[in-house]
Amino acid sequence: MSRWRVQLLGGFGLWRDETALAHRFETDSARALFAWLCLNAGKPARRDALAALLWPDTSQSAALSALRTTLTRMRRALADTAPALHSDPQTVTLILPADWEVDAALFDQAIAQTRAHTHRRAAGCPDCLARLQQAVAHYAGDLLAGLSVESGLFMDWLAGQREHFHQAALDALETLAERAAMEADWPTALRYSQRQLSLEPWHEPAHRRTMLGLAHQGQRMAALAQYRACRRVLQQEFGADPDPETQRLADAIRLSRWSPAARAPAPGQSRAEALDQLPFIGRGRDLRTLMDLLNQPATRLLSVIGEGGIGKTRLVIRAAQHMRFAFDDGARFIFLHPEDKPAHAPDPAQATSHLAWHIAEACQIGAQGHRSPEAQVLAALKARRHLLVFDSFEHVLEAAGFLGELLEAAPGCAALVASRQRLNLRREQVVRLEGMSLNIEGATGSAGAQLFLALAERNGVVLNAPEARPQIEAICAALHGMPLGIELAAACLSGMGLSALQQAVQQSPGVLSIPIADLPARHRSLQAVFESAWQTLGEAGQQALAALSVLRAPCPPQAAVHLAGSAATLSALVEQSLAHHLADGSLWMHESTRRFAAEKLGAGPDGAMRAQAAQRRHAEWFLRWLAESHSALRSAASADTREQLIASFDDLDAAWRWALAQGEWEWVSAAAFSYETLHRLAGRLADGADRLSHALQIAPPAHDEAACRLRARLLIARDTLQSLRDNQANMEPELREAAALAERIGDRALIILAWSRLARELRDHGKDGARQALDHAQAALQAIEEQPADPDALSAQAEYWRQSGALDFREGRWQPAERHFRTALALARRAQDHLLIPKMMEHLSTVLVARGASAEADALLNEALERYQQLRLTYQQTNVLDLLGQRADAQGHYAQARQHYLKAIELAQASGNRDAEMVTRINLGISCDQMGDYAQALAHTEAALALCRELGGTDHLTVVLANLSLHAHHNGAHDTALHYAREATTLAKHFGIPELEAYGWEFQGHALLAVGQVDAAEAAYRRALEMRQALEQAMLALETRAGLARVALARGDTLDASAWVEPIAAHLLNGHTLDGAEETLRVYWTTYQVLAHNDDRRAEAILRLAAHLIEQRAARLSDAHSQTVYLKVDVHRCILEAWRANSVSHAAATQNLQTGLPQ
């Protein structure tokens, strides 16, 4: 049978098999008519309509005659398929045989099916991706490229059709390129993106993806050349620059701030990939069922139910790997095996918290603050779109309600659960998994037998399949098709023959002395396989496997070797599939294997002693590893070290608890600071503080040096976590005890740390004695400075100078604060303390801004942000982005500030960090106020107030109240503004925060002057000026002088007003700015008004500076709406109107002067 192909995309073509027939159509009119009929195949078309479409400029009779002639040509061209063209006196119909291929029709069909298909997203739908790949393969260019007929109507129809196909092809290529980029398949992403650019050279997302693809392949210069091409085509076509996102990417590549290095996999990803490495046989239908269900947006909770060892884990991991791209934020794997539990079994009340922590780790939620882990997870996942994959959920069934609450709060997330029991939630859809099929299918045998043969071959055992198949089928039948049993049975072949294995598997439980009499049938057979494997191990292997059962999670290879006794013994266990190496080298045991091994460890009269010895070796190794990781946790490799420790968190916690129970206080003391640091970086503040409190309760009395050091370390470590967990907690007594213990044993680093932390505690709670606490540490400080440099000692000194600088800053002593922060930063650098270095940069930048050193402050903040990004510390990145937003605001870069703030809020919400979100919303409100968007300013600040009242915190409440005063003043609600300002002033005064108290007085002045209370306004402004001069806040002091000048103008005292603005005018006309002032342009306007009132010639220069500043800042705004809002701000409008009037007056005067000149 002949194969017919019709090409309409990229030109016109017709082939029968390999013979081209397009030339037979003779004219473009015939080709055009055939193409139109192909696209409308099967639909009768009226002759008069076709004639009018192709020959609109001729009479109807002539057009119909031309149509008949053209139809004749078509029949000749189609030759023996002419009957496919049906016509009668009124209509023409093209009936295409089913085996005809029309590229445009196939393209349209694939696109239509994709659009009609229900899925979460096309880029994550395997079926739709296949359709789109077929579609773009058909798209060779414009519909009927090169064809032209003398009919305006037809060419208009053709133009519309071309646009339809063109846009559909662009959209399909975008989806395919997006998917390739998700998979980091950069050659494919480049190929699709470059095809997009060939169709639409100004398509900016394709330019960005091409830049990324080139950079990822190490072609940095080519990536920058692509950016230049993008900029050039956008200028040529639209007279526009690339989007800020494109510019930032180009800058990052140009400045080498962008690295093509692969991102570290999400926690659990490596483990999931390792568990998915074995042959996947016999589960294709089950996999397809899961994929289809996960692809449906209505599926929120899908549970795969089955017995242990039945293959649930493999199946859900494989399904998640296939469907992870259906979710914007990918899949996250949460393993909940018993070995992943804490050392103590959680009761129902603890199960929810335990589940929440595992979700937080898997989703990289950098929890901070004093809220519960459940609340942090709910807040963080609210805006995310994850596929949450849970393994062995039966161990936390008490927390099923929390999972339901999470899915309700996070509509973009779905859960895929492997469990022995269903969760019994309303949203739950259940798929029950049985053993592998034992139906013998031809020469290949059953699916179970196929798996057995594949696993045996992996283990180096080659069987004669036809001869061995009956025995293999019998073994698989005895194991009820259980994949884990088949895997263990195949591994046993290295130590026993097939016949012996069959006999062992089919023996009764009594013969094998199985300790559990009521095991289900499948598990009795599985136990039989394990017993067979156990007998082949030898004494060393048996002891090693039993000892490994104390592990609670995949462990570092060194730990596994320590417990197993030797690397050779461990390798033997791996070869027999009793243990598995993951991709990172860590060791993992299946839950059932671990349970059987644990039974062996505790069996017999010496079982308790063996179990105790194994637990001791376990605790010794893990606590030594934790203690030795102290420096690494603070090094440049902190992120990797942290993630390695977090992966073994439950083993570390079990080791800690065992050491406490057994009184191994030397191990506890050595690991205390690392234990605190790990809990802090992991966000487990409450757990860590509680564990340390328990340790303090049972620690031995401080009778000797070791006991004193232990208790001091525990007290300082608990203070660190407790102060972050609850900033209202009173830690003063415990810190005084720690200081006394450190003094008693003469441990200088501990002395400095204890007194420094006490100073912070007293300062933060507004108590007296902070300075005296630092004085207590000076003797130890001087002595330790004379010793050889030691990282811990250097970090302790840095902490002292940090707290000293913070106290100076709190008291408004900028010069000593700067000096002390610089000292702390230098010490942190010497100690190579990469957690402390960026924190010191933040502190120093804050005081530099107050002192007017803006450039250095900005440089420090940008470096701090880069460091936090390298350390993968989301919480700290949020803080720095907020500070960068404040800096951009101060310089009038409002669009840039908004980007910083919104990114900070995004990170804060993603990590559940409500404190950081509150602070950022406070500052975003100020930014909106400065832009003149008072409604948004009020909205963000009210949101901040709600968060503030939820979380507590006096400093923040004071700031929010002060800002609400300013927003109310700008909205004309002056009585409300006065109320807020007075509240802010009272709070700031009560808690000794002079900087905020000065703001309170300033804003009181604004409100009082607006309601006509001139004398009271003057008093408020004078109080603010006095405080700002004492605090050395030069810019803010100038702003307050402008307020006093407005008071003088209200009284009609222009002389007094001139005195107030004189320093401002001198400052501005000497080329200085007002960076750091709240209302910069109001200061300009007030200064101009006073000078103009007094006919001071400098007024025009001030007005010119103000007008140019407004124009510059407006030009930096990214959209026309923001520019309009900004230019309509009252004071901005007044300045620009005055400047225009001044310019017109000057022009008229110049014209008059020129008119009067002699000709």
Three-class SS of 605-626: CCHHHHHHHHHHHHHHHHHHHH
Query: How far apart are alpha carbons 875 and 510 in whole angstroms?
Result: 58
Residue type, 761: E
Q: SS3 for 1001-1037, per residue?
A: HHHHHHHHHHCCCHHHHHHHHHHHHHHHHHCCCHHHH
Beta bridge partners of 15: 5, 20
Block residue for tokens 């101009």: 1088
| Closest alpha carbon to 332 in 406, 403, 266, 419 | 266
Give the gyration radius of the chain's Cα atoms.
38
- Residue 511's CB is within 10 A of a number of other CB atoms, namely 10
pLDDT at 274: 74
* Tokens describing residue 694: 């328990």
Query: How far apart are alpha carbons 305 and 418 in whole angstroms?
Result: 6
pLDDT at 291: 95
| Closest alpha carbon to 338 in 538, 551, 77, 174 | 551
pLDDT at 518: 42
Asked whether the beta carbons of 913 and 365 are under 8 A apart, the reply is: no
Query: What 8-state DSSP symbol labels residue 265?
Result: P
Give the pairing of strands 428-432 and 301-305: parallel
Supply the DSSP string of 31-62, one letter for each residue. HHHHHHHHHTTTS-EEHHHHHHHH-TTS-HHH
Helix (H) or strand (E) holding 332: strand 331-335
Asked whether the beta carbons of 1139 and 1103 are under 8 A apart, the reply is: yes
pLDDT at 480: 83
Domains of the chain in sequence order:
4-183 (1.10.10.10), 269-432 (3.40.50.300), 442-604 (no CATH), 617-839 (1.25.40.10), 1043-1159 (no CATH)
| Closest alpha carbon to 913 in 365, 386, 364 | 365
Cα 115 vs. chain centroid, distance in angstroms? Answer: 29
Asked whether the beta carbons of 898 and 921 are under 8 A apart, the reply is: no
pLDDT at 513: 35
Beta bridge partners of 303: 417, 430
* Tokens describing residue 870: 């390298």
Query: How far apart are alpha carbons 459 and 692 in whole angstroms?
Result: 47
* Tokens describing residue 166: 């063109």
Query: What 8-state DSSP symbol labels residue 299?
Result: -
pLDDT at 1: 63
Q: Which residues contact 28 (CB under 8 A, 6 or more apart)?
A: 147, 148, 149
Low-confidence residues of the chain: pLDDT under 50: 261-262, 339-346, 508-522, 1150, 1152-1159
pLDDT at 515: 38
pLDDT at 537: 84
- Residue 443's CB is within 10 A of a number of other CB atoms, namely 8
Residue type, 810: R
Long-range CB pairs of 986-994 (<8 Å, 24+ gap) are 987/954, 987/957, 987/958, 987/961, 988/958, 990/766, 991/766, 991/954, 991/955, 991/958, 992/766, 992/810, 993/810, 993/955, 993/958, 994/811, 994/812, 994/1027, 994/1030, 994/1031
Query: What 8-state DSSP symbol labels residue 555?
Result: B
Long-range CB pairs of 783-786 (<8 Å, 24+ gap) are 783/748, 784/748, 784/749, 784/752
Block residue for tokens 């009226």: 46
pLDDT at 1159: 32
Helix (H, G, I), strand (E, B) or coil at 576: coil
- For the chain, the straight-line distance linking the first and the last C-alpha, in angstroms and rounded, comes to 98
Helix (H) or strand (E) holding 982: helix 974-990
* Tokens describing residue 979: 């109320």
List phi, psi (to 5°) of 698: -105, 0
Beta bridge partners of 387: 331, 414
Query: What 8-state DSSP symbol labels residue 812?
Result: T
Maximal CA-CA distance, the chain = 130
Cα 484 vs. chain centroid, distance in angstroms? Answer: 36
Helix (H, G, I), strand (E, B) or coil at 121: coil
Query: How far apart are alpha carbons 826 and 837 in whole angstroms?
Result: 8
Residue type, 364: Q
The residue ranges of DSSP E strands in 183-310, in sequence order, are 301-305
Query: How far apart are alpha carbons 481 and 471 in whole angstroms?
Result: 14
| Closest alpha carbon to 197 in 159, 157, 237 | 237
- Residue 309's CB is within 10 A of a number of other CB atoms, namely 25
Cα 556 vs. chain centroid, distance in angstroms? Answer: 27
CA-CA-CA-CA dihedral for 281, 284, 286, 292, to nearest 10: 150
CA angle 487, 311, 548 (to 5 degrees): 60
Asked whether the beta carbons of 618 and 658 are under 8 A apart, the reply is: yes
Asked whether the beta carbons of 452 and 487 are under 8 A apart, the reply is: no
List phi, psi (to 5°) of 335: -95, 125
Residue type, 124: G
CA angle 428, 430, 432 (to 5 degrees): 160
Query: What 8-state DSSP symbol labels residue 302?
Result: E
pLDDT at 1148: 54
**pLDDT, tens digit (0-9, with 9 covering 90-100), for 773-814:** 999 999 899 888 877 778 889 999 999 999 999 999 988 888
- DSSP H helical segments within 603-704, as ranges? 607-628, 630-633, 638-647, 649-662, 665-682, 685-698
Query: How far apart are alpha carbons 725 and 693 in whole angstroms?
Result: 13
Long-range CB pairs of 226-232 (<8 Å, 24+ gap) are 227/253, 230/204
